Amino acid sequence: MQKTFTVENPTGIHARPARKIVEAAKAFAGDVFLEKAGNRFSAKSLVKVLSVGAKQGDSVAVVAEGDGAEAAIDAIGAVLVSQESH
């Protein structure tokens, strides 16, 4: 399952939202990835999430497989579209 979101945070995906993404991904038993510009990154690794380099306005796909995939995608998507910058 996959869904694409637009990053709304004015400072992009920095340490705080990246941590929230990792926490949401780790709560899910299956595999979860972020995809940007044809590159796939594990959403369960803080270093990998920061490596996405997502800035405001970028499109990022969240890919998850397994039971609860939709909930995991929605939780991570909520972080991606949040405008909270702190």
Rounded to the nearest 10°, the torsion over CA 3, 52, 14, 24 is 40
Q: Is 14 part of the annotated catalytic residue set? A: yes
How far is CA 21 from each of CA 14, 58, 69, 72, 83, rounded to the nearest angstrom? 11, 16, 14, 10, 14
- Whether residue 29 contacts residue 65, with contact meaning beta carbons closer than 8 Å, is answered with no
Look-up: residue for tokens 């990792």? 22
Provide the residue-wise pLDDT of the chain in tens; the chain has 86 residues. Answer: 999 999 999 999 999 999 999 999 999 999 999 999 999 999 999 999 999 999 999 999 999 999 999 999 999 999 999 988 65
Q: Which CATH class is domain 2-81?
A: alpha beta
Catalytic residue among 3, 12, 14, 58: 14
pTM recorded for the entire structure: 0.93
Distance CA 29, CA 16 (A): 22
